Chain A
Amino acid sequence: KQEVTQIPAALSVPEGENLVLNCSFTDSAIYNLQWFRQDPGKGLTSLLLIQSSQREQTSGRLNASLDKSSGRSTLYIAASQPGDSATYLCAVEGGNKLTFGTGTQLKVEL
Chain B
Amino acid sequence: EPEVTQTPSHQVTQMGQEVILRCVPISNHLYFYWYRQILGQKVEFLVSFYNNEISEKSEIFDDQFSVERPDGSNFTLKIRSTKLEDSAMYFCASSGQGSLRSNQPQHFGDGTRLSIL
Using a CB–CB cutoff of 8 Å, the interface residues on chain A facing chain B are 31-32, 34, 36, 41-46, 49, 51, 89, 91, 93, 95-103
Contacts and interface: CB of A to CB of B under 8 A. Distances in A.
**Interface residues on chain B, size class:** 20 to 34
Given A43-B91, A89-B43, A98 B106 contact: yes
Contact of B45 (A44, A99, A103): A99
Given A93-B102, A96-B50, A101-B42, A44 B108 contact: yes
A97 B33 contact: yes
Contacts of B33: 96-98
Contacts of A42: 110-111
B8 to A, nearest CB: 14
A13 B34 CA distance: 34
Across the A-B interface, the 6 shortest Cβ-Cβ residue pairs: A31-B102, A43-B110, A96-B48, A44-B108, A96-B56, A97-B45
Contacts of B44: 100
A5 B31 CA distance: 26
Given A31-B103, A32-B103, A46-B107, A98 B45 contact: yes
Which of A41, A51, A93, A97 lies at the interface centre, i.e. has the most chain B CB atoms within 10 A of its CB? A97
A97 B50 CA distance: 12
Interface in B23-43: 31, 33, 35, 41-43
A56 B113 CA distance: 34
A86 to B, nearest CB: 14
Contacts of A43: 91, 108-111
A102 B42 contact: yes
B49 to A, nearest CB: 9
A89 B42 CA distance: 9
A102 B41 CA distance: 7
B97 interface: no
B77 to A, nearest CB: 15
B55 A96 contact: yes
A47 to B, nearest CB: 9
